[in-house]
Amino acid sequence: MPKQKKKIFEYKKNRAWVENLYIVTQLGLTMVGCIAFCFFIGLYLDKWLGTKGIFIFIFIILGVIGGGVVVYRQIMEITEVKEEDNNSGNGTD
């Protein structure tokens, strides 16, 4: 009788957990990406114009707002897909 390898992580058992982790990670990276992108634009403008942090502050605020809008849209898209999946399974199309 051959020895069976013990799996470290069984995807089939933990599928819902992994999908939720993926969503949270995606949302977090989206937010960080928007803020970092705007930070570097503000940093460049401050260096170019010789100001002392005003554009960094303005663009970080814009990055937070923009990231929030993108994250909100992603959440709405994800919940819309899940609602469609739930409705298509019960035969009430």
C-alpha angle 64-70-73 in degrees, rounded to nearest 5: 140
- 36-90 pLDDT, tens digit per residue, is 999 999 999 999 999 999 999 999 999 999 999 999 999 999 888 777 777 776 6
Confirm if 25 and 74 have CB atoms less than 8 A apart.
no
CA atoms of 45 and 47, how far apart (whole Å)? 5
Residue 81 C-alpha from the chain's centroid: 16
pTM metric for this prediction: 0.74
**Whether the Cβ atoms of residue 42 and residue 60 lie closer than 8 Å to each other:** yes
Instruction: Note the pLDDT of residue 90.
Output: 62
What is the pLDDT averaged over residues 2-22?
80
* Residue 21, both tokens: 């982790």
